[in-house]
Amino acid sequence: MRWLLIILITFLVGLQFRLWVGEGSLAHQFELDTQIAEQRVENQLLKRRNEKVAQEVESLKSNLESIEEKARRDLGMIKEGEIFYLVIDKNDAVLNSSSKPASVVEPSPQ
């Protein structure tokens, strides 16, 4: 009877150890639940970003005005006969006086 009690107590301690400390424990389960929640949030953000990109691609496929807008915005392109003006904030010019913006092209002397 005494051996049976010792075996049962040892078995109970082993099960309790796995419940509280080992892999699959309550702490491990909580950590996994937290990771799942974080991944779901990240997935939602990426899903929204993908939807925006898909809308932009569809717009570029079907609308010439959106192509022109993207070329103007991203590539700094202008139509023939237009004049490009770059407005610089004085505060930004003082802070960044040593570096020139990438979109500024200085005119060549003629």
pLDDT > 90 fraction of the chain, expressed in percent and rounded: 28
Q: Quick check: 15 pLDDT over 50?
A: yes
Domain annotation covers residue 18: no
Domain annotation covers residue 76: yes
Domain annotation covers residue 90: yes
Q: Extract the tokens encoding 9.
A: 């107590």
Range of the domain at 83: 27-95
The stretch 86-108 carries a mean pLDDT of 62
Domain annotation covers residue 13: no
pLDDT band of residue 110 (cuts 50, 70, 90) is very low
Domain annotation covers residue 33: yes
Q: Residue for token digits 């990109």?
A: 53
Cα–chain-centroid distance for residue 9? 51
Which run of H or of E encompasses 39? Answer: helix 26-62
Each residue of 33-82: pLDDT tens digit? 999 999 999 999 999 999 999 998 998 888 888 888 888 888 878 888 88
Domain annotation covers residue 44: yes
Does the global pTM surpass 0.75?
no
Q: Quick check: 102 pLDDT over 60?
A: no
DSSP, residue by residue, 79-97 = -TT--------HHHHHHTT
Question: What is the tally of structural domains in the chain?
Answer: 1
Domain annotation covers residue 6: no
Domain annotation covers residue 69: yes
Provide the CB-side half-sphere exposure for 46 (13 A, CA). Answer: 6
Cα–chain-centroid distance for residue 98? 31
